[in-house]
Amino acid sequence: MTENTVSTAVAVRDNGPGAMVEQYRNDLAMVMPSHVKPDTFVRLAVGVLRRDRNLAQAAQNNPAALMGALMDAAQLGLTPGTEQFYLVPRKQKGRLEIQGIRGYQGEIELIYRAGAVSSVIVEVVRERDTFRYSPGRDERPEHDIDWDVEDRGALRLVYAYAVMKDGATSKVVVLNRAQVMKAKAMSQGSDSAYSPWQKHEEAMWMKTAAHRLTKWVPTSAEYMREQLRAQAEVAAEQRTTVAAGVVPQAPMPESGGSDEDEGPIEGEFVDDEPGQQWPAVAQPPA
């Protein structure tokens, strides 16, 4: 999809970015995961553009950048214009255009969707909080907050870890201010007034830790690829067995087990209303 192609589409459809998104509904739907509803995705994307004049202008300036960001969100199955996937204007060669940025809720969504974890914990530590964690000695951090204090102080640390479905704790990621600021400096457009680093600093600290956590736990794409590969190998082995004239026997259940094999369970993450803060401990629905 080139800039000229998309620009032509905008001109044909009343020169509006919302109309362009509507026109490319089928293209977006083709790359979405099965759990995402194209109508809902498009409606939310159009709504964000209509509510924010800067975004609408940025989309008008470079329609290809808008569609590129929406395609990225669609492929990941994340909701555009929320803390799952930010749509922000940024200056490029003197004019505004749209940039897509994955948020911390998006990082957590991809972890849950893999189906390997029961909960993901991402939280910031402020100056007046008490935080204790010693790798190799402590399984999980101890974080005490005085909820009665009016001001907990400036952001000091951020941490993230996952509890796997077997009860084990993943690697614990802990980042201090210097490490977060280094990540911010490497983020394109982070100094812009439109950047989520300026408007949603705490959320971006959490996104940085959650993103580091994805290196240590399965995420949607890699985990499901492994599951599909394993299923394909089993299916190929069964076809070979049947072709050889051998009827495979059903395995006997282990003592205390179930007669039915339990396959991978699809993790689900329920999104809050746009703009609403998520809890620090994000639990998938029962």
List the pLDDT tens digit at each of the 286 positions of the chain. 554 444 444 434 455 778 889 989 999 999 998 889 999 999 999 999 999 999 999 999 999 999 999 999 999 999 999 999 999 998 888 899 999 999 999 999 999 988 899 999 999 999 999 999 999 999 999 999 999 999 999 999 999 999 999 999 999 999 999 999 999 999 888 888 888 999 899 999 999 999 999 999 987 655 555 555 666 666 666 666 555 655 445 444 433 333 333 333 233 333 333 333 333 444 444 4
Nearest to 18 by CA among 42, 54, 40: 42
Asked which of 102, 130, 146 is the last residue of a domain, the reply is 102
Asked which of 71, 102, 133 is the last residue of a domain, the reply is 102
User: Do 67 and 117 belong to one domain?
Assistant: no
Identify the pLDDT of residue 187: 87
User: Do 141 and 89 belong to one domain?
Assistant: no
**Residue 169: CB partners within 8 Å, gap ≥ 6?**
139, 140, 161, 162, 163
How many domains does the structure of the chain reveal? 2
User: Do 20 and 138 belong to one domain?
Assistant: no
**Based on C-alpha coordinates, what's the Rg of the chain?**
23
Identify the pLDDT of residue 231: 60
Identify the pLDDT of residue 177: 97
Asked which of 76, 102, 128 is the last residue of a domain, the reply is 102
User: Do 154 and 141 belong to one domain?
Assistant: yes
CA angle 221-195-37, nearest 5°? 40
**Does the reported pTM lie above 0.85?**
no
Identify the pLDDT of residue 34: 86
Task: Please tell me the distance from the alpha carbon of residue 284 to that of residue 264, in angstroms, as a whole number.
Answer: 15
- Domain assignment of residue 150, yes or no: yes
User: Do 111 and 84 belong to one domain?
Assistant: no
User: Do 82 and 123 belong to one domain?
Assistant: no
Identify the pLDDT of residue 88: 92
- Domain assignment of residue 262, yes or no: no
Domain boundaries, position 150: 105-218+268-282
Identify the pLDDT of residue 224: 56
Helix then strand then coil, in percent of the chain rounded to 5, is: 40, 15, 40
User: Do 19 and 92 belong to one domain?
Assistant: yes
User: Do 159 and 25 belong to one domain?
Assistant: no
User: Do 129 and 75 belong to one domain?
Assistant: no
90 beta partners: 97
- Domain assignment of residue 154, yes or no: yes
User: Do 47 and 65 belong to one domain?
Assistant: yes
Identify the pLDDT of residue 243: 58
- Domain assignment of residue 65, yes or no: yes
- Domain assignment of residue 241, yes or no: no
| Strand, helix or coil for residue 225 | helix
User: Do 49 and 66 belong to one domain?
Assistant: yes
User: Do 153 and 276 belong to one domain?
Assistant: yes
